[in-house]
Structure 1
Amino acid sequence: MITRPVADIIEQLELDGDTIVTVDRLASVMDEVGATGSPRMLAYELQRDGWLGTLRSRGAWEFLPGSRAGSYSSGDRFLEFRAQHALRMGWPGVLAMESSASLLGLAQRIPDREVIALPDDAAFPKAMNGQWRCVRIEIPNEGVTVINDLPTWDREGLLVGIGIRPSGYKDTPGLGQWLSDPPFDVDTDKVLRLLASASAAARQRTAYLLQASGNREAAHKIIDANPPTETAWIGPRSQGGRYDSVTRVSDTRLHPYLSVGGGS
C-alpha cells in the first residue's frame, strides 16, 4: 500500500513530467511535499513497487508513471544519455553524427549505436560502453540545439562535425542519401564561424559536402574565404574515387552514394 507521502511524491513526479529520476531529484521533491527520510531508500522502495525502472547509469532511474498502466519502459532510446545529464550538471555530452541526423529528420534509419560528441578532456561514461559510440569533436555552442530536451548538433554543426571527421559517420550510404536530397540549406556565415578553429582539411571537406549536396554557392563561399593549397581526403588514401578540383578533395568513400553535385 502506498503511503500518503509517497503518493504525494509520485504525483509530483507525474505533474512535472519527469523522465529521469536521481537521488538529488527525489530529495528535492521530498522537500517540496514535506516528506522525510532517505532519498536513496525511497528510490529503492519506488523501484521495488514498479515506479522506477533500472538504468545502467548508477544513481538514476527511469520514472514509470501510472498512466502507462504497468511498469513499462517508455522505450526512449536516449534514456542513458538523459541520465548522464541529470546526474552531472554541466556534463558536455552532445548527440552527434547519425544520432544528430536522426533527430534532425535527415537520416531515415536509427543508428545501430547512438553517438555522442565529447571534448578530449571529458570521460566517456562507463554506463554507455558497448551501447553508445563517442567521437572526440567539440563543436562551438552556436552549432548545438535542443530537440526534445536533448542537446544535439544542429544542421550546421552536423555538417562541420562530418567535415572535421568524416570517418565518425558510419552510415555512409545513409549520409549520401540525405546529403543528396537538395536543397541542403545552411547558414553559410554560421558554418564559417564554426570552422574558425578547424583545420584547412576540415574546411575543404565541409565545402565538398555542401557542393555534393548541390549547395555550390555555400561551398564557394567557404573556399573563397580559405583557398585550399593541398589535397584533403574523404576515405582512405588510395587510387580511384572522385577528385573535386574546386575544393581539392579526393573522395574515395562517399561519392558512390551521392546522386547530385559532382567533382571534376
Structure 2
Amino acid sequence: MTRSIPPSLAPLVALLELERPTIVSVPQLTALIGRTVMRTPPRVAIQRLAARGWLLPTGVRGMWEFAPGERAGAFSSGDPLMPVQAALAAASSRVPAQQPSIALGSALWLHDLADRAPDIPEVAMPERAAVPAALARLCRVVHFSAKVAPVRKRGSLLVHTPATILVHLAHRPRDVRSWASILEMLGRLVDAANEAQIHQELAGRPHATRIRLAYLLSGVAPALAERLEPIPRGKVWFGPRRPVRHHDAHLNVADTVLPIPPRTIGASTVAPSSAGAIIPA
C-alpha cells in the first residue's frame, strides 16, 4: 500500500525515519516538529500522518506506533507487547519507584525462559501504587515491589530479573495463573537466577516468603534451598487457605496450589553459587 508524504509533513517523517522510535507520544512528536521549519500545528500534523498510515493507534491515548517506510504500508510490527510498551511509555513520567514492570509469565518469555507469552501480558506495579487505566485495560496487573532493579528489554521495557521472578512466585503464589507451566520451566529459571540477587530480594520480606521459596526449590535446587536457611517457625501456607494438596513436614508447608510436590521435580543442571555466579552443578 502506497503512503503519501505531503511536502508539509516531509521534514517530520524524515526525522521519524532517522530516529526510528517504536512508540512515540504526542509531546515527543510536538518536540520533533519544533526541530523542523514546519508551520503545521502539531495536532494537525499528527492527524494527517495517522490518516496516511505513518502513525498507527496503540490503544493508549496519546501514544502512537511509528510505521517506517520499509514496511511498505500501514502495517504494525505485530509485537504482542506493543500495547504494553505504549502503556508503559505513558506511565514513564512516574517516579522510578512507582513505575510498572513486566512480570511473571511475560518476563519469563522476554528472558527466553518460556516458549510463549501469556495471552494477556502480565505487569507488576509496586505495592499500593495506583494502576494506570491503560494498563488495567490491556494487562493483568499484580502488585509486587521488587528490590532488585529491573532490566531493560527491547530498549524501553522494564522487566523483572529471574531472581525477582523467583521471589515473586514465593511471596505471592496466588499471582500465578498456571503453576503447571511454571514448574515446567522452574529449572531454567533457577539456572538464570543470580543467587546474590535472590538474597537481595528476600531481605526484609516475611520469613514465610523464605520458607515458601525453599519449598519451591526443594527439588530443582536442593542445595540452594538449604542455603536460604529455612528454619520453620510454624505452619506456612503456599496458596490460599483451602483443602491442602501437599504437606511438607520438613518445612511445615501446607500447599494448596501446586499440581505436584516440588521435591519430586528433578534437580537443575546448574546451580547458582554462593557468590552469585552461575557454575556447573
TM-score of the aligned structures, taking structure 1 as reference length:
0.88
User: Which residue, 253, 256, 274 being the options, matches 1:252?
Assistant: 256
Match of 2:228 in 1: 222
Contact 2:162–2:190 (Cα < 8 Å) also in 1: no
User: Which residue, 36, 41, 44 being the options, matches 1:41?
Assistant: 44
1:111-126 → structure 2 map (5 Å cutoff): 111-126=118-133
User: Which residue, 180, 190, 196 being the options, matches 2:203?
Assistant: 196
1:167 and 2:171 matched: no
Within 2, Cα distance between the matches of 1:38 and 1:128?
30
User: Which residue, 9, 19, 22 being the options, matches 1:19?
Assistant: 22
Distance 1:42 1:239, change over 3 A: same
1:147 and 2:133 matched: no
Contact 1:183–1:215 (Cα < 8 Å) also in 2: yes
Give the superposition deviation at 1:46. 0.7
| Partner deviation per Cα, 1:119-167 (whole Å, 9 max, x = no partner) | 2343222223343111011112x24111112111110010011111111
Distance 1:136 1:182, change over 3 A: closer
Judge which range, 189-198 or 229-238, deviates more. Answer: 229-238
Judge which range, 8-17 or 229-238, deviates more. Answer: 229-238
Give the superposition deviation at 1:20. 0.9
Contact 2:166–2:189 (Cα < 8 Å) also in 1: no
1:81 and 2:61 matched: no
Within 1, Cα distance between the matches of 2:149 and 2:90?
24
| Partner deviation per Cα, 1:53-82 (whole Å, 9 max, x = no partner) | 112211111111111111111111222222
Note the aligned Cα RMSD (angstroms). Answer: 2.3
Contact 1:64–1:73 (Cα < 8 Å) also in 2: yes
Contact 1:114–1:131 (Cα < 8 Å) also in 2: yes
Give the superposition deviation at 1:211. 2.1
Give the superposition deviation at 1:89. 3.2
| Partner deviation per Cα, 1:26-55 (whole Å, 9 max, x = no partner) | 112112233233222211111111111112
Within 2, Cα distance between the matches of 1:88 and 1:16?
21
Aligned residues, how many?
258
Q: Structure 1 vs Structure 2: percent identity of aligned residues? A: 29
Contact 1:177–1:257 (Cα < 8 Å) also in 2: no
TM-score of the aligned structures, taking structure 2 as reference length:
0.83
Match of 1:29 in 2: 32
Residue identity opposite 1:60 in structure 2: M
Distance 1:240 1:128, change over 3 A: closer
| Partner deviation per Cα, 1:94-121 (whole Å, 9 max, x = no partner) | 0011111111112223212111111234
Distance 1:257 1:120, change over 3 A: same
| Partner deviation per Cα, 1:203-239 (whole Å, 9 max, x = no partner) | 2112222223x21222111125xx2302222234344
Within 1, Cα distance between the matches of 2:168 and 2:229?
17
1:233-252 → structure 2 map (5 Å cutoff): 233-252=237-256
Judge which range, 120-129 or 24-33, deviates more. Answer: 120-129
Within 2, Cα distance between the matches of 1:172 and 1:187?
22
Match of 2:69 in 1: 66
Give the superposition deviation at 1:185. 4.8
Within 2, Cα distance between the matches of 1:204 and 1:261?
20
Residue identity opposite 1:101 in structure 2: L
Match of 1:93 in 2: 100
Give 5+ residue unaligned stretches, structure 2.
Answer: 268-281
1:132 and 2:139 matched: yes
